[in-house]
Amino acid sequence: MMKTKNTICGMLMAILTVSCYAPERDCASFKTGTFEFETYLNGEVSQTTFTRNDTLEIDYYQGKADSSSIRWINDCEYIARKINPKNRSERQALHFKILTTSKDTYTFEYSIVGKVKKQRGTAKKVNDEKSL
């Protein structure tokens, strides 16, 4: 009986310890700067570099620059909207949410505003620039 009681107490302590874990999120450190992001596109690794300040993000991809206005919802979430959209698809705003952070990277999820389907990525901070 005592052995069963100790086992139950041990299991409860383990569950409480795991349920209290909260991932690190120092989002403020990633609001501005220059970042790199890699993804697979058409079976190949593709890299994008982007620079962001409080209100503007400039993406550099395949030698072309594209600008988006930024509106922060809170320290960990923002809405990005293309400044000069070329088609209907580019007019749709994107919602970004920083999920976890580490020393120089952050993991995020993003989706078209109002859509349920989300995608994830990880960006690495390569420079602390504050202005564009």
Domains of the chain: 23-127 (2.40.128)
Mean per-residue pLDDT for 23-37? Answer: 88
H or E element in which residue 12 lies:
helix 2-19
pLDDT(42) > 80? no
Which H or E run contains 18? helix 2-19
> Is 124 within 8 Å of 104 (Cβ atoms)?
yes
Per-residue pLDDT band at 10 (split at 50, 70, 90): low
pLDDT in tens, 63-105: 899 999 999 999 999 999 999 988 988 899 999 999 999 999 9
Query: Higher confidence at residue 5 or residue 26?
Result: 26
Report pLDDT for 127.
Answer: 84
On whether the CB atoms of residues 33 and 27 are closer than 8 A, the answer is: no
Mark 63-84 as b/e (b = at least 16 C-beta within 10 Å): eeebebebeeeeebebebbbee
Expressed in angstroms, the distance from the first to the final Cα of the chain is 68
Q: Kindly state the DSSP code that residue 83 receives in the 8-state scheme.
A: S
The stretch 111-127 carries a mean pLDDT of 91
- The answer to whether 33 touches 129, Cβ cutoff 8 Å, is yes
Cα 27 to Cα 9, 21, 52, 77, 128: the distances in Å are 36, 18, 13, 9, 14
Would the pLDDT of 128 be above 80? no
pLDDT computed for residue 81 by the predictor: 96
Q: Which two tokens stand for residue 63?
A: 């030698």
Model confidence, pTM:
0.76
Instruction: Note the pLDDT of residue 69.
Output: 97
